[in-house]
Amino acid sequence: MSEVPQIAFAHVGLNVRDLERMERFYTGLLGFIVTDRGDLGAARLVFLSRDAREHHQIVLVSGRTENLDYSVLNQISLRVPDLAALRYFHAHAAAYGGSDIQPVTHGNAISVYLRDPEGNRIEFYIDTPWYVTQPLRVPIDLAKPDAVLWQEVEALARSLPGFRPVEEWRREIESRIAAA
């Protein structure tokens, strides 16, 4: 069996109903900039990035049908640097049309989930230094001070199946990947 070449996630494309509204959400709340825009046949495209090495990390494409009442995309997950960033997105999402805002912990991460103006789920998260068996989703209160919140998340993680330092879990996964 030949070795599978390395891959890296590069970008996601979203079919959208209201291109301008979606552009405002992703540029306003998330700080993406428009790197290009144009037409491709009947479709209008807006390319967005926050990384100069990436022409686009998100591309918005017009043409999502009106009768599709759900998003076929499960979620877009975005890693942020700290609890302050999670609090920022939690506090500001509604002003840009975000809804269904939920802060939770997974034991191995602390997340804020929300929906963009067309119902696509977005997760903002920070990793914790622990691994616990997944899936897990427990509501948290981001209004608590950092130290209190971290103590609560750690206490929860320690009480769950599979608890161990994430580095130990990563070494196991690296071994499994190498063996595959």
pLDDT of residue 4: 57
Is 72 a residue whose pLDDT tops 70? no
CA distance 57 to 46: 11
For 68-93, b where at least 16 C-beta lie within 10 A, e where not — what string?
eeebebeebebebeebebbbebbeeb
pLDDT of residue 1: 47
> pTM, whole model, 2 decimals?
0.79
CA distance 93 to 30: 9
- Using an 8 Å Cβ cutoff, are 145 and 152 in contact? no
Q: Label residue 175 by pLDDT band (50, 70, 90).
A: confident
Q: What is the mean pLDDT of residues 33-52?
A: 91
- Domains of the chain in start order, with CATH, are 9-64 (3.10.180.10), 75-180 (3.10.180)
CA 54 to chain centre: 17
Of residues 67 and 136, more confidence is placed in 136
- Render pLDDT for 157-168 as a digit per residue (tens, 0 to 9): 999 999 999 999
Which sign, positive or negative, has the C-alpha torsion 79, 99, 21, 91? negative
How would you classify residue 13: left for phi > 0, otherwise alpha for psi between -120 and 50, otherwise beta?
beta
